[in-house]
Structure 1
Amino acid sequence: MTYRNEALLEMLAAGGDGDDGPGDLDSFDHEAFVKQFYPSVHMATPTEVRMEARTRSQNIFASYATLRAILSRHELTIQKRWSKKTRQQRQKVLLDAWPGMPASHRPDFDAFRRTNRTQGPPLSGDLFKSHYTWPHINQDDLLKPKTLPLLLNARGRNPPNLFAAADFESMHLGLVSKNLTPVFLNCYTMVLHGARGADEYGKLLSWDEHPEAFDWIASRKQYLPGEGLFVLEAQEKLLRFLVDSCSQILAEIPVEDLTAPTFPVQPEPSLKTEKESTGFDSLAVMAAEAPYRVPAKLDMKRIESILYSRLVAAEDHQWALREDPAYFVEQFIEIKEHRQELMKDTLGASHPALKTVDQKSLWARVCGTIAFEAHVQLESFAELHQQAQTLRLLHDKHKDAISPTEDLPEKMMSVILRFRHYLYQTAKGPMSQLRECVVASPPWRSYFVRQPPPNSTTTKIIVMSKPGVKMNPIQEQLLYLLRLLWKDGQDLSFIGLPLVVDELGKLLEIESRAQDLLSARIASVIGDLAIISQCIAQLDFYLPWARGYMNALVDRQEGIMKEFAERINPWGAVMAALNERNLSQVVKLGIPSDKRFAYPVEKRRTKQNVEALRRAEQNLDDFWAAVDRVVYTRCGQSAGPTHRRVMRRTKEWVEPATTTSNSGREAVLDPDLADLYKPLSTIYIGQLAGDKTPTITSTTKMKTKTQFSAQPVDSPPVIIQNEEPPEEPDAPVYIPVDGRSFKVFRTLFFNPTVTSSPGEISWNDFLHAMTSTGLFMAEKMYGSVWQFEKLEGDQSRIQFHEPHPRCKIPFTTARRHGRRLNRAFGWTGNMFVLKGK
Structure 2
Amino acid sequence: MMPLLLNSRGRHPPPAFAAADNESVHLGLVSKALVPIFLNEHTMVLHGATTADGYGKLIAWDDPEDAFERLTTRKQFLPGEGLLVLEVQARIMKLLVDCCHQILHEISAADMIGDAYAIQPEPPLKTDNDASGFASLAVMAAEAPFRLPERLDLARLESLLEAKMLAVEDHAWALREDPAYFAHEFLEVRDHRQEMLKDTQGCVHPITNRLREHRLWTRITSTILIDSYMSLETFTELHRQAQQLRILQTKYAGEISPQNDLPEEYMTALLRFRYFLEKTAKSPLERLKTAVAASPPMHKFFARVPPTDVDSTKLQIVQKAGVKVTEPEGHLIWLLQTLWDDGCNLFLVGLPRVMDELERLMQSSPEADRLISELVLKILGDLSIMAQCCRQLELYQPWAQTFEMASANHVETFKAEHMQWGKPYAQIVDAIKEQNMISAGRLAEPSGGKFAYPSHKRRTRETVEALRKAEGNLDAVWAKIDENLRDKVPEIGQSAVYSFLSTRMLRRTAEWVEPATPTADIKIMDPNLDTLNRPLSNLFLGSSPDQRQALKAQPKVKTKTKGVPSAASAALAAPDVSETKNSDPQPTFHVDARTLKVFRTIFFNPDVTSTPGSVLWNDFLHAMVSTGFRAEKQYGSVWQFSPTSLGVERSIHFHEPHPKGKVPFEVARHHGRRLTRAYGWNGDMFVLKDK
Secondary structure of the corresponding residue to residue 52 of structure 2: helix
For 1:137-176, list aligned pairs within 5 A.
Answer: 147-176=1-30
Aligned residue-pair number: 668
Taking structure 1 as reference, are residues 317 and 732 closer, same or farther at Cα in structure 2, changes over 3 Å only? Answer: closer
Which one of 692, 695, 706 corresponds to residue 554 of structure 2? 695
1:730: Cα distance to partner? 8.5
Partner of 1:789: 642
Take 1:299 and 1:364, find their aligned partners in 2: how far apart are those partners?
Answer: 43
Q: Which structure has more RCO (C-alpha within 8 Å, separation ≥ 6)?
A: 2
Moved more, 726-735 or 355-364: 726-735
Pairing 1:218–2:69 present: no
Take 1:330 and 1:573, find their aligned partners in 2: how far apart are those partners?
Answer: 27
Which one of 446, 467, 470 corresponds to residue 616 of structure 1? 470
**Equivalent AA in structure 2 for residue 678 of structure 1:** R
Secondary structure of the corresponding residue to residue 446 of structure 1: coil
Q: Deviations over 1:419-461 (max 9, x none)?
A: 0111111111111111101000000012211111112222210
Q: Percent identity of the aligned residues?
A: 48
Partner of 2:376: 522
Q: Is the 1:642–1:687 Cα contact (8 Å) retained in structure 2?
A: no
Partner of 2:528: 672
TM-score (norm 2): 0.92
Pairing 1:780–2:633 present: yes
Q: Is the 1:283–1:780 Cα contact (8 Å) retained in structure 2?
A: yes
Take 1:436 and 1:684, find their aligned partners in 2: how far apart are those partners?
Answer: 33
Q: Which runs of 5+ in 1 are unaligned?
A: 1-146, 700-719
Take 2:395 and 2:88, find their aligned partners in 1: how far apart are those partners?
Answer: 18
Q: Is the 1:191–1:201 Cα contact (8 Å) retained in structure 2?
A: yes
Take 1:721 and 1:289, find their aligned partners in 2: how far apart are those partners?
Answer: 57
Q: Deviations over 1:124-152 (max 9, x none)?
A: xxxxxxxxxxxxxxxxxxxxxxx111111
Take 1:435 and 1:532, find their aligned partners in 2: how far apart are those partners?
Answer: 17
Partner of 1:407: 261
Q: Is the 1:353–1:359 Cα contact (8 Å) retained in structure 2?
A: yes
1:210: Cα distance to partner? 2.2
Pairing 1:449–2:303 present: yes
For 1:678-827, list aligned pairs within 5 A.
Answer: 678-681=534-537, 683=539, 693=552, 695-696=554-555, 722-723=573-574, 733-773=587-627, 775-792=628-645, 793-827=647-681
Q: Is the 2:129–2:139 Cα contact (8 Å) retained in structure 1?
A: no
Take 1:791 and 1:358, find their aligned partners in 2: how far apart are those partners?
Answer: 53
Take 1:444 and 1:276, find their aligned partners in 2: how far apart are those partners?
Answer: 29
1:722: Cα distance to partner? 4.6
Q: Which has the larger radius of gyration?
A: 1
1:401: Cα distance to partner? 2.0
**Equivalent AA in structure 2 for residue 834 of structure 1:** L
Partner of 1:831: 685
For 1:185-334, list aligned pairs within 5 A.
Answer: 185-274=39-128, 279-334=133-188
1:402: Cα distance to partner? 1.5
Q: Deviations over 1:19-72 (max 9, x none)?
A: xxxxxxxxxxxxxxxxxxxxxxxxxxxxxxxxxxxxxxxxxxxxxxxxxxxxxx
Secondary structure of the corresponding residue to residue 788 of structure 1: strand
Take 1:813 and 1:784, find their aligned partners in 2: how far apart are those partners?
Answer: 14
Partner of 1:11: none
Pairing 1:648–2:499 present: no
Pairing 1:594–2:448 present: yes
Taking structure 1 as reference, are residues 347 and 160 closer, same or farther at Cα in structure 2, changes over 3 Å only? Answer: same
Partner of 2:563: none
Taking structure 1 as reference, are residues 731 and 499 closer, same or farther at Cα in structure 2, changes over 3 Å only? Answer: closer
Q: Deviations over 1:311-342 (max 9, x none)?
A: 00000000000000000000000000000001
Partner of 1:180: 34
Secondary structure of the corresponding residue to residue 778 of structure 1: strand
**Equivalent AA in structure 2 for residue 642 of structure 1:** S
1:377: Cα distance to partner? 0.6
Taking structure 1 as reference, are residues 668 and 222 closer, same or farther at Cα in structure 2, changes over 3 Å only? Answer: closer
Partner of 1:128: none
Take 2:451 and 2:572, find their aligned partners in 1: how far apart are those partners?
Answer: 19
Secondary structure of the corresponding residue to residue 548 of structure 1: helix
1:669: Cα distance to partner? 6.2
1:277: Cα distance to partner? 8.3
Q: Please tell me the root mean square deviation across aligned C-alpha atoms, in Å.
A: 2.4
Q: Deviations over 1:624-655 (max 9, x none)?
A: 01000011111133342424222111100111
1:507: Cα distance to partner? 1.0
Secondary structure of the corresponding residue to residue 9 of structure 2: helix
Q: Is the 2:255–2:263 Cα contact (8 Å) retained in structure 1?
A: no
Taking structure 1 as reference, are residues 697 and 723 closer, same or farther at Cα in structure 2, changes over 3 Å only? Answer: closer
Secondary structure of the corresponding residue to residue 594 of structure 1: helix
**Equivalent AA in structure 2 for residue 777 of structure 1:** R
Secondary structure of the corresponding residue to residue 653 of structure 1: coil
Which one of 206, 213, 217 corresponds to residue 352 of structure 1? 206
Q: Is the 2:101–2:109 Cα contact (8 Å) retained in structure 1?
A: yes
Take 1:523 and 1:686, find their aligned partners in 2: how far apart are those partners?
Answer: 39
Q: Is the 1:780–1:786 Cα contact (8 Å) retained in structure 2?
A: yes
